[in-house]
Chains A and B, each alone.
Chain A
Amino acid sequence: GNSVTQMEGPVTLSEEAFLTINCTYTATGYPSLFWYVQYPGEGLQLLLKATKADDKGSNKGFEATYRKETTSFHLEKGSVQVSDSAVYFCALSDPYSGGSNYKLTFGKGTLLTVNP
């Protein structure tokens, strides 16, 4: 079945440092890929997504490129802030119900802490 593997955390950085969170996937077909963010005590928010190979998703200074050849979707940000401290989840879409609807398969999440 489909699966997502994220780098294990926690990741601790100083403010303005460069961030990379690795994500690789295994899938049949051509899934869409997502990054979600979960701030402490809250639900998940969609951060960015990419729907086909070589697409780059971007939002709030974060970006990730859908790399089909390496089956990867690494999350990057050039300069992190304290407010970026959260858990980040990589996910892929998984078709069900005959392929007309989708569920998400998530990685285990990576906790990022940014210190001032």
Chain B
Amino acid sequence: SQTIHQWPATLVQPVGSPLSLECTVEGTSNPNLYWYRQAAGRGLQLLFYSVGIGQISSEVPQNLSASRPQDRQFILSSKKLLLSDSGFYLCAWSVSGGAETQYFGPGTRLLVL
């Protein structure tokens, strides 16, 4: 069966520091991968999605970037964190080529102070 992992689970970082969040999927090949942010009291905002290695699409302009160095690895990064980057970051995957259902990881809670 397929599983999706995210780490770290919780992170407290100072403003201006770098960020790296990692997401990996097991049990499937060539998945579509997604990064979402959930701010307190708000819904989910799609940040990035990827249909293959090295292929990244950005949904909103922001302080963050994403990379997909391997088929089942998706990384969210920032060079300098802002206070507004605080939130709950969720990674998700779906079967490529027409499947609509997405499966979510446990999330990373980021607090920028």
In the bound assembly, the distance between CA atoms of A97 and B100 in angstroms comes to 13
Whether A108 pairs with B43 at a CB distance below 8 angstroms is yes
In the bound assembly, the distance between CA atoms of A44 and B99 in angstroms comes to 18
Q: Which of B75-113 contact A (CB under 8 A)?
A: 90, 92, 94, 96-107, 109
A102 interface residue, CB < 8 Å from B?
yes
Whether B51 pairs with A97 at a CB distance below 8 angstroms is yes
**Number of A-B contacts defined by CB within 8 Å:** 56
B44 interface residue, CB < 8 Å from A?
yes
In the bound assembly, the distance between CA atoms of A102 and B92 in angstroms comes to 12
Min CB distance, B98 to chain A, in Å?
6
* B-chain residues with CB within 8 Å of residue A104 when the two chains form the complex: 46, 100, 102
Given contacts A42-B106, A43-B106, A44-B104, is CB(A101)–CB(B46) below 8 Å? no
B49 interface residue, CB < 8 Å from A?
yes
A58 interface residue, CB < 8 Å from B?
no
Whether A43 pairs with B101 at a CB distance below 8 angstroms is no
In the bound assembly, the distance between CA atoms of A104 and B47 in angstroms comes to 12
* B-chain residues with CB within 8 Å of residue A106 when the two chains form the complex: 43-44
Which listed residue (B42, B90, B96, B101) contacts A101, Cβ 8 A?
B96
The bracket for how many chain B residues form the interface is 20 to 34
Min CB distance, B92 to chain A, in Å?
8
Which listed residue (B43, B57, B97, B107) contacts A109, Cβ 8 A?
B43
A49 interface residue, CB < 8 Å from B?
yes
Q: Which of A90-116 contact B (CB under 8 A)?
A: 93, 96-97, 100-104, 106-109
Min CB distance, A41 to chain B, in Å?
8
* A-chain residues with CB within 8 Å of residue B97 when the two chains form the complex: 100-101
Q: Which 9 A-B pairs have the closest CB atoms?
A: A108-B43, A93-B100, A43-B104, A44-B104, A102-B100, A106-B44, A43-B107, A32-B100, A43-B106
